Chains A and B, each alone.
Chain A
Amino acid sequence: MTALASPIGVWNRECIAELKRSWRLPQFILPSVITPAAFFGLFTLAIAKSPQPGAVAAMLAGYGVFAAIGPALFGFGAGVAMEREQGLIELKRVSPMPAGAYVAAKLSAAITATAAAVALIYALGILGGVRLNAAQWMHLAIVHLASTVPFALIGFGIGMRMGGKGAVAMANALFLGSAVLGGLWIPSALLPGWMRGIGEVLPSYHLGQIARGIVSADMIGTTAGHLLILSGITAVSAAWAWTGWRRSPA
């Protein structure tokens, strides 16, 4: 006989509690929702004199991936590190809560923030003349929301290994590095070879290329190839996050 509660109920309640918490702490979520849209509006629409809709669509593909990185790295990386320092995680870990519920809750909060951020970017894109068919919008949304996952796992691994301040610094470095080296701001084809080389180990590069493919912008490599590499990166990140959770003393 087991005295465990139904796991689905636990996961659901944990997710709802985490969303409520994020909602009540707007100062943490708002910057990661607004910054990507603001950058997109500024660099793609406001500065360019007469932007080509095709070029805007290609930029939108990249900025949508960028929008997923902030909530994933800061919500998970910095958030987990701070909760660990406050002793919140230790209390959960001695309770019968399955570890998956904690991860699912943090992930659902990050994906919700990403959804809000990409919705803003899509709205700006449409205002800027981007026209895509329904299937393209849908595929783009799936890729952008899914972009949260590998970065969330990386953030989780950081959060379980570093203190709050260290994790924030690390998240910032990865945030900017992933955007620039992954070709989300300046297309990878225009980057110097060495920058592109570093970018190829980052999930942002492969996600960005897949997203470019969806809006019919020129892409490097094939969607299948990028998906294969992405699943490898995600698996390694998941293993890294899991060992961090298992080994962490607190």
Chain B
Amino acid sequence: MVQDLSAVATLEAVSKRLGGRQVLDRFELAIRAGEVTALLGPNGAGKTTSVSLLTGRLRPDAGEARLFGLDPARPAARARMGVMLQAAGLPDVMTVAEIVTLQSGYYRDPRPLAETLAIADIADLATRRCGALSGGQARRVLYAMAMCGRPDLLVLDEPTAGMDRAATRALWGTIREAANAGAAVLLTSHDLAEADMLADRVIVIDAGRIVADDTPAALRARAGGSVIRCRSSLPLARVAILPGVRDGAADGAEVRIVTTDAVATVRALCGADPGLADLRVADAALEDAIAALLTPDHRIAA
């Protein structure tokens, strides 16, 4: 493999078995500076395992994990990384200011407390005990802890899970700013709209393999351009052979069709099913693109 010079974190031919299952097999991944990379895939595909290997939580059985050129198990390698974990807890009896200050102390040149709190929009929570925070507030505190050390690599595991709409938008803004300022951002998400909105690059993993690595726009284009939704009594087998159709799914009478040529498909659909109703045509979303890439039993839940 050619060495990617802008890569801040890499997995090289990494294999990892967990609980008797080969989660990753000679897996390759490179996270580059100034880029938001979204890691997507169904549960069990290897997203969390990849992140754990990059952050030093797990060690590869074979191959090599590198963080800023060092072994991620060494604290020095993690000194330029900020991590926001999905399942992480906060100590109930410590205040927000105390826990953020403690975390800042792990870094040599941390942001001032006020700046960190402002970035995560939690200045008003500084004296609150962590045990008294709502789920969304706790997520923002965890984001502050990830940002306090001026990280060159920001790892965000489902960052906006449990956040309301306004907080989610605000967080997306600061993540984008961090990437524009030159940081590498690695994002895992179940929210495909989030990946579409934020990511420069989407990596889709399925069963421990990368099935796509491209920009969101290119992935959408690959899905064929358009999605048709309608109510139809036509069997899926008939729908599948209509012109332009790449993928179809039915939920009762509600049919969803991915097509490369919406006009031709709609024309044929009208001819084939006189009872056609509720016809809607839209641009393919990232979700449709990814659904088309995954094996049927691994489809991401919408």
| CB-based contact A5/B106 at 8 Å | yes
- Measured CB to CB, the nearest residue on chain B to A91 is B88
Other-chain contact of A97, B88, B93, B106, B109 (Cβ < 8 Å): B106
| CB-based contact A3/B80 at 8 Å | yes
Distance of B183 from chain A, by nearest CB (Å) = 14
B 93-114 contacts with A by CB, 8 A: 93-94, 98, 102-103, 105-109
A139 within 8 A of B: no
A87 within 8 A of B: yes
Q: Compute how far the CA of A87 lies from the CA of B130 in the bound complex, rounded to whole angstroms.
A: 14
| CB-based contact B55/A94 at 8 Å | yes
Q: Which residues of B contact A3 (CB under 8 A)?
A: 76, 79-80, 107-109, 149
Q: A10-B105, A10-B106, A90-B85 are in contact. Are A97 and B90 (CB under 8 A)?
A: no
A47 within 8 A of B: no
A123 within 8 A of B: no
Distance of A82 from chain B, by nearest CB (Å) = 10
| CB-based contact B98/A17 at 8 Å | yes
| CB-based contact A96/B78 at 8 Å | yes
Distance of A249 from chain B, by nearest CB (Å) = 7
Binding-face segment, A19-27, A51-59, A107-115, A172-180: A19-27
Looking at B81, B89, B94, B98, which has the most chain A CB atoms within 10 Å of its CB? Answer: B89
A165 within 8 A of B: no
A129 within 8 A of B: no
Q: Which residues of A contact B57 (CB under 8 A)?
A: 90, 93-94, 249-250
A98 within 8 A of B: yes
B56 within 8 A of A: yes
Q: Which residues of A contact B58 (CB under 8 A)?
A: 249
Other-chain contact of A88, B55, B80, B91 (Cβ < 8 Å): B91
Q: Which residues of A contact B90 (CB under 8 A)?
A: 88
B302 within 8 A of A: no
| CB-based contact A9/B109 at 8 Å | no
B87 within 8 A of A: yes
Q: Compute how far the CA of A87 lies from the CA of B107 in the bound complex, rounded to whole angstroms.
A: 21
Q: Which residues of A contact B149 (CB under 8 A)?
A: 3, 96
Q: Compute how far the CA of A154 lies from the CA of B245 in the bound complex, rounded to whole angstroms.
A: 64
B145 within 8 A of A: yes
| CB-based contact B94/A4 at 8 Å | no
Q: Which residues of B contact A133 (CB under 8 A)?
A: none
Q: Compute how far the CA of A94 lies from the CA of B142 in the bound complex, rounded to whole angstroms.
A: 13
Q: A17-B98, A95-B106, A96-B107 are in contact. Are A4 and B79 (CB under 8 A)?
A: yes
Q: Which residues of B contact A25 (CB under 8 A)?
A: 93
| CB-based contact A5/B87 at 8 Å | no
Q: A2-B76, A3-B109, A24-B93 are in contact. Are A95 and B88 (CB under 8 A)?
A: no
A216 within 8 A of B: no
Q: A4-B75, A96-B76 are in contact. Are A86 and B89 (CB under 8 A)?
A: yes
- Measured CB to CB, the nearest residue on chain B to A86 is B89
Q: Which residues of B contact A250 (CB under 8 A)?
A: 57
17 other contacts beyond A21-B94, A87-B85, A94-B81, with CB at 8 A cut-off?
Answer: A2-B108, A4-B108, A5-B108, A10-B106, A13-B102, A20-B98, A86-B89, A88-B90, A90-B57, A90-B88, A91-B85, A91-B145, A94-B78, A95-B106, A96-B79, A98-B75, A249-B57
Which chain A residues have a beta carbon within 8 Å of chain B's beta carbons? Answer: 2-6, 9-10, 13-14, 17, 20-21, 24-25, 83, 86-88, 90-91, 93-98, 249-250
Q: Enumerate 30 A-B pairs (CB-CB under 8 Å) in ascending A order.
A: A2-B76, A2-B79, A2-B108, A3-B76, A3-B80, A3-B107, A3-B108, A3-B149, A4-B76, A5-B108, A6-B108, A9-B105, A10-B106, A17-B102, A25-B93, A87-B88, A88-B90, A90-B85, A93-B56, A93-B57, A94-B55, A94-B57, A94-B83, A95-B78, A96-B78, A96-B106, A96-B107, A96-B149, A97-B106, A249-B18
Q: Which 3 A-B pairs have the closest CB atoms?
A: A86-B89, A3-B79, A24-B93
